Amino acid sequence: MTTINDIAKMANVSRTTVSRVFNNGYVSEDVRKRIMKIVEETGYTPSLSAKSLRTKKSGVIGVILPKISTETASRVVSGINEVVAKENFQILLTDTELKKEKEIEYIRLLKSRHVDGIILLATNINADLIKAISAADLPFISIGQDLPGVTSILYDDYHAASDLTNLLVANHHKKIAFIGVGEEDPSVGRQRKMGYLDTLAKTNLPIREEWIEEGDFSIESGYECAKKIIRNSEKNLPTAIFAVTDRMAIGAMEYLREQGYSIPQDIAVAGIGASTMSKHLTPPLTTVDYYNKDAGKKAAQLLLAQMVQKKDKEKYTQTYRLIKRDSV
Amino acid sequence: MTTINDIAKMANVSRTTVSRVFNNGYVSEDVRKRIMKIVEETGYTPSLSAKSLRTKKSGVIGVILPKISTETASRVVSGINEVVAKENFQILLTDTELKKEKEIEYIRLLKSRHVDGIILLATNINADLIKAISAADLPFISIGQDLPGVTSILYDDYHAASDLTNLLVANHHKKIAFIGVGEEDPSVGRQRKMGYLDTLAKTNLPIREEWIEEGDFSIESGYECAKKIIRNSEKNLPTAIFAVTDRMAIGAMEYLREQGYSIPQDIAVAGIGASTMSKHLTPPLTTVDYYNKDAGKKAAQLLLAQMVQKKDKEKYTQTYRLIKRDSV
DNA sequence: AAAGGACATGTAATCGATTCCACACATGTT
DNA sequence: AACATGTGTGGAATCGATTACATGTCCTTT
């Protein structure tokens, strides 16, 4: 591996001068050319570890995901990358596999790797996490959960859920079932459920326990929840099922189809997430587009801005869009 | 930021000793405890830039993707991560946006970042790329393309395509259309097409130009290709369409459905990739599972092995699995 | 003609770790 | 008693860059 010293020797200059060639200092045209020629010949590229050690900047931003291979995650990462790559940053990826402790562990790790900032796709909120974030003392953005004291990009879960419920109501559904997730996830678990419940309450529609089930984000759990709902309410079937994610909605559709219910005539289904799949199902699924990629872009922009100058911690709420399709 | 020197001072030892605590050198139980206590109190974590500068190892492996937000990519990355995370490596992600030059650029960049190895999800082969790889002189794995002189993990595109074609033939299809991609991509563009063509030739089935179209991986291009095929062969419609990716197959299905053809009665459709979606389409799509995640794992294992000790460049062919579903 | 400024380059300290070598002491071996 | 061996610690060089400061030209200005 050739170093700056090798180049300096070969060009008969000091390494200071070589460094200046790369950092826009005073260098005569003459010397600059001589050095560049040698650089090209040797294929020299400066060691970024050394540079990072000296400058305290790495040109890397850390991204913490709950799970790599989900469509949401890959859209967000793609958005982040689109923005940061333009500024010649790279992404260091970590995956918590949905384990809370790992979030904190990775924040520490990323800090010791001298990343210039961190974006966290958050799935929960807890005091230790907040503490770890503030201890890291780095530009930090949370996506998806409102972390106190942290710049957060939020989806409007409450209103998305209530709009969707209202859409079902507008389509003459009076008996609306719900497939949710656990409340450890404040946004998906709690906010979306509140949106659903409040809307039913406001429109004086019945809320029945046997119409409400809790899954774990997976297609299979959507299937199981639908099964429970149907079985537990044989005499009083709902006419619509609202699942808080597309995947669970898909599982529900599958069960309904297996049981011979037709969608939406017998039972309507709606989800959230605007997965690619949702458009190509039969019938196409009514859902909510959260513009995940834009959320990633926005997060990256805010992060870059914070790196230049400390900002007050703010909250940004993303827009969303109802996509009405034939499943309702 | 606290450094090793701070810790050393606070513990009244030399920084050598502090370093030894983290690197399993001789340290008395007494001193080790004293140091660890201070480490905990201060939240000290060693600077990995400094460490990397000194040791020439970074604990980071570079991954070069053609496009981040595709299901294939995210499965592979997930597999890679699963393996390397266990050894405390992280992934540095780069996205070429399908631009050849960027592959080379990123190889250089990753090199200067002192990554310990690189995994490339390859989409093409060219001399400059090979040169750049050998110049980098790093443990290197290619996934998806057979790069000369580079350890490669290959999908068996030729046989997967010919098996799939044979499956169509076995289902009494004699007029089989094909939606492919450009031959710049040797694996998807060339091998899969060869598998298709050779099988037709061997079984004495007709190969007709108007049944062969070329898309660009997207769902829309699948739709357009299907449209062209149907329009160009009105008097002699194929009874099956083989698309080399699931996404293009989905586009084709969409067009066929719009035009009132029923699948598979009028025209059968098959794809490759075993996308999550394929299972939930109506009808479910016949496809080939390439076990992308396993490919990622395998790549990571080989890379880790190469990092320990240089190995001969080898070629590994992944197994695949035909998934026969109702679209055929 | 002396002073000041712009330009070009070099010297040396520094970033935060690792690691070779030396040294001190205690214990075991012959 | 002399020597080897094992254990625990520190000194100092080193990795490859950046950067404050110093130095030396050459030109312009007054």
d(CA B32, CA B29): 5
What architecture (CATH level 2) is domain A58-155+292-320? 3-Layer(aba) Sandwich (3.40)
Query: What's the pLDDT score for residue A311?
Result: 78
pLDDT of residue A26: 86
For A229-279, the pLDDT digits (tens) are 999 998 899 999 999 999 999 999 999 999 999 999 999 999 999 999 999
Determine whether the distance from the CB of A60 to the nearest atom of strand D is below 7 Å: no
pLDDT at residue A107 tops 90:
yes
Cβ contacts of A237 within 8 Å, gap of 6 or more: A175, A230, A267
Query: Which tokens go with A231?
Result: 């079985």
Q: Which residue is it, tokens 């990343």?
A: A115
Superfamily of segment(s) B55-155+292-319: Response regulator (3.40.50.2300)
Of A52, A90, A111, the CB nearest to B94: A90
Round to whole Å and give the CA distance between B277 and A244.
Answer: 19
**Strand, coil or helix: what is A243?**
strand
C-alpha distance from A107 to closest chain B C-alpha (Å): 11
Ordered alpha helix ranges (H), chain A: 4-11, 15-22, 29-42, 48-55, 71-86, 100-112, 127-136, 157-170, 192-202, 219-232, 246-258, 276-280, 292-308
Residue A69 has its nearest CB partner, among B78, B112, B281, at: B78
Q: What is the pLDDT of residue A99?
A: 94
Q: Which of B96, B263, B280 to mutate to test the interface with A (most CBs of A within 10 A)?
A: B280
Estimate in Å the CA B244 to C1' D7 gap, whole number.
Answer: 66
Q: Which CATH number fits domain B157-289: 2.60.40.290, 3.30.450.190, 3.40.640.10, 3.40.50.2300?
A: 3.40.50.2300
What's the pLDDT at A309?
83
Signed CA dihedral, B118, B317, B218, B185: sign only = positive
Helix then strand count (H, E) for chain A reads 13, 12
B325 neighbourhood in chain A, CB within 8 Å: none
User: Residue A25's pLDDT is what?
Assistant: 76
**For chain B, which ranges sit under pLDDT 70?**
none
pLDDT tens-place string over residues B231-282: 999 889 999 999 999 999 999 999 999 999 999 999 999 999 999 999 999 9
Spell out which chain A residues touch chain B, with contact meaning CB-CB distance below 8 angstroms: 43, 45-50, 52-53, 58, 60, 67-71, 73-75, 77-78, 81, 85, 90-95, 108-109, 111-114, 135, 219, 250, 254, 276-277, 280-282, 293
Q: Is the bond into A283 cis (omega within 30 degrees of 0)?
A: yes
Using the structure, give the distance in angstroms from the CA atom of B14 to the C1' atom of C22, rounded to a whole number.
Answer: 15
B175 touches strand D (CB under 7 A): no
Q: For residue A252, what pLDDT is reported?
A: 98
Rounded Cα gap, residues A196 and A200, in angstroms:
6
Per-residue model confidence as pLDDT tens digits over A165-200? 999 999 999 999 999 999 999 999 999 999 999 999
Q: Which residues lie across from A94 on neighbouring strands?
A: A64
> What's the whole-number mean pLDDT along residues A94-112?
94
Nearest CA to A113 among B178, B283, B115, B133?
A: B115
Nearest chain A CA: its distance from B42 CA (Å): 10
Tell which of B42, B49, B61, B64 to mutate to test the A interface (max A CBs under 10 Å).
Answer: B49
Tell if the CB–CB gap between B49 and A114 is shorter than 8 Å.
Answer: yes
pLDDT at residue B26 in the model: 85
Report if CB A15 to strand C is under 7 Å: yes
Q: Evaluate whether B55-155+292-319 and B157-289 have a shared fold.
A: yes
Nearest to A136 by CA among A159, A152, A160, A120: A120
Domain ranges of chain B: 4-46, 55-155+292-319, 157-289
Please state, in angstroms and rounded to a whole number, the distance separating the CA atoms of residues A58 and A70: 28
Report the candidate in B41, B79, B39, B36 with the shortest Cα–Cα distance to residue B61.
Answer: B79
Nucleotides of C under 7 A from a protein CB: 7-12, 14-20
